[in-house]
Chains A and B, each alone.
Chain A
Amino acid sequence: MAAPFDLNDDSVVVVIGTGAGGGVLSNELAQKGISVVALEAGGRYLPEDYINDEWESFGQLAWLDPRTTSGDWRVAKDFSGLPAWIVKAVGGTTTHWAGASLRFQDHEWKALTSYGAVEGASLLDWPIDGAEMAPWYEKAETKLGVTRTGDRAGLPGNNNFKVFEKGAKALGYTEVHTGRMAINSAEYDGRMACQQTGFCFQGCKWGAKWSAAYTDIPAGEATGNLEVRERAHVARILHDDSGKVTGVEYFDKDGNLQMQKARIVCVAGNSFESPRLLLNSASNMFPNGLANSSDQVGRNYMRHMTGSVYAVFDKPVRMWRGTTMAGIIQDEARHDPSRGFVGGYELETLALGLPFMAAFLNPGGWGRSFTTALDSYENMAGMWIVGEDMPQATNRVTLSETKDQWGLPVANVHFSDHANDIAMRNHAYKQGQAVYEAVGATRTFPTPPYPSTHNLGTNRMSEKPEDGVVNKWGQTHDIANLFISDGSQFTTGAAENPTLTIVALAIRQADHIAGEMSAGNL
């Protein structure tokens, strides 16, 4: 049967969310001939719709439904209703992401074994490893057209990279290059090469950056096996008396409650919405929420240890020109406890436009200390820090007292840094500042974390059912036909930007689901 599908068609796989996890999974299943209904809370925006303007684009793409925050992270004070900067649109946050596509290092799959127990952290080994993931990573890199993998060349370095590279080499760093990026350095897969426009975070108007919105989604739709329902906000996952899921209730674009039957449900709403949905789906049979017999749903929220370093020079840099994040130093990504922390971090070039620099350089800051920094905006270079943060059971997504426009409890996001996160951030600030000082920076700014873009770990993968929510396939331990397909299944965060791993897991999960369906197990 071809799309569109009937609400009563209980043979379909329902995928909730269409980003790096759900968008890829939907297409991969559709390519295998499986009928998929993808429910997406946001609308559909394509390159011609994207806006080269930070605030206007934010208003167009960002998830702005209410959320609440708690914990001692500074985001809870500075951006209390905006714990994350992620996207509500077909393609999800793949419209906004910077494109950095790094594989986990082998030891990071086994964080507990590699680092040993860390006090206050709920470290765990993934039930999979680098060898198992290698072929899936290769498929993901091919799909995304990742530079410096396969035979794909690296991107050229922009001004911001050149400053960063020179400082890095002066410090003796050796693993410095323009990154492994899902941004075309040459025409690839029918999409053109990067035009060095900047505004990677606002959606690539050339389509040079991979986004599910204009690759996997239309490819899946072209098979006739995928129906994407836009502005469909899922309220609840339903189940029968045997405990298997049977469908989902959602509010359609007109605000009417609909019910779509399903053979399998895959949840990929990002690490806030996915656990929120499981918790909001509580029933008499599952009073603590679906797939939550372990009480692990919502726990171990990770956001990567982040921060930024900006620096001012006596001459212009014009960091906003060109690819936003095509630059990386990987020397600090290793695990080397002699630095005073476990795990490692990457340093990646980053630029913000003037409006966002004003909002994020030092939120709440004012006076001449702040404004003289912006006065030198043209002479500024910038980098982002992304490192492995410690999972903590108390960092978690719970249901808030606040309700959304549908009357559903929203996610409360509670986060406090672990001492290891703080030690790593301070080390990274020092190294980042040293990079720029080596090129003659006259002033440097260790800038606090922004609202999270890497949201991980709230439905984590575990060998044992009591330690997590899903097994090695992303299948919930409790309910055989309920899967988690986004970054919330991450057991630990590793130091790398997560999208490539989310995509690799989604491709692998599609293969598994298709196999189990044809074997009659699902």
Chain B
Amino acid sequence: MTKIERTGLTRRALLSRSVAAGALCVTGAGFIAAPNAAWAVEVTVITEHQMATLLQMARDIYPHDRVGDQFYAVAVKGYDAEDKKALVDEGIAALDAAAQAAGHADYVSMGWEEDRVKILQGMEDSGFFQTVRGGLVTGLYNQKDVWPIFGYQGESFSQGGYIDRGFDDIDWL
């Protein structure tokens, strides 16, 4: 199984072992991690490259510049599983093949989001794309920790609702 954990790796150790992959690092040791070592995803079934590609793809599908990679990592970590491996193998291979056909080494090494989005648009109707996109709708946006970034306050009953907490506090009309 995969897990998200705070890594004990030092920044220098990470950098020395990593291959640049967008904003992420493929450490080559069964992990991909944030460059600042704030978090890491362990992979046991799929490859580091595949997980890094999934992360980049997730961000390209639902790009929120104020939402950190760790939330996208949570949303895609479930693809590191035996019953998802065939889907991931085929899907990432197709993504990389399309990137190569466009003159790039692979998907994650494409520097511009708009170039990557063109690759995704070309496979928008594929089962792989639709599975990843559909999964993100709940996998990303139903994380309670992501809600404050959007200003959403979630549950309110335990706090007595908003009757005394600003249900009608709009002041700019």
Contact = CB atoms under 8 A, between A and B. Distances in A.
Contacts of B160: 195, 197
B154 A53 contact: yes
A196 B167 contact: yes
A44 interface: no
Nearest to A314: B172
Contacts of B66: 375
B168 A162 contact: yes
13 contacts: A159-B168, A163-B173, A197-B156, A198-B162, A315-B172, A320-B152, A321-B153, A322-B168, A354-B147, A358-B137, A378-B150, A378-B152, A439-B173
A195 B61 CA distance: 38
B157 A158 contact: no
Interface stretch (A242-250, A283-291, A363-371, A423-431): A363-371
A195 B64 contact: no
B151 interface: yes
A205 interface: yes
A446 interface: no
B157 A163 contact: no
A157 interface: yes
A156 B164 CA distance: 13
Interface of A: 52-53, 55, 156-159, 162-163, 166, 194-199, 205-206, 315-318, 320-322, 353-355, 357-359, 364, 366-368, 370-371, 374-375, 377-378, 439
B167 A322 contact: yes
A374 B64 contact: yes
Contacts of B117: 367
Given A163-B173, A322-B162, A355 B138 contact: yes
B161 A198 contact: yes
* Chain B interface, DSSP helix/strand/loop, else mixed: loop
A370 B151 contact: no
Interface string B105-133: 00000000000010000000000000001
A318 B137 contact: no
B141 A355 contact: yes
A334 B133 CA distance: 42
Contacts of A166: 173
A159 B156 contact: no
How many chain B residues sit at the interface, stated as a range, is: 35 or more
Interface of B: 60-66, 117, 133, 137-138, 140-142, 147, 150-158, 160-163, 165-170, 172-173
B151 A371 contact: no
Most chain B CB within a 10 A radius of its CB, from A196, A320, A357: A196
Contact of B142 (A55, A156, A157): A55
A366 B61 contact: yes
A163 B151 CA distance: 18
Given A159-B169, A355-B141, A367 B63 contact: yes
A318 B66 CA distance: 19
A460 B157 CA distance: 40
Given A197-B157, A322-B168, A354 B61 contact: no
Contact of A321 (B62, B65, B162, B173): B162
Contacts of A162: 168, 170, 173
A321 B147 contact: no
Given A316-B151, A353-B152, A377-B150, A371 B64 contact: yes
Given A354-B141, A378-B150, 16 more contacts: A55-B138, A159-B166, A197-B157, A199-B156, A317-B170, A318-B166, A318-B169, A321-B162, A322-B161, A322-B168, A354-B150, A358-B141, A367-B117, A368-B63, A371-B62, A377-B151
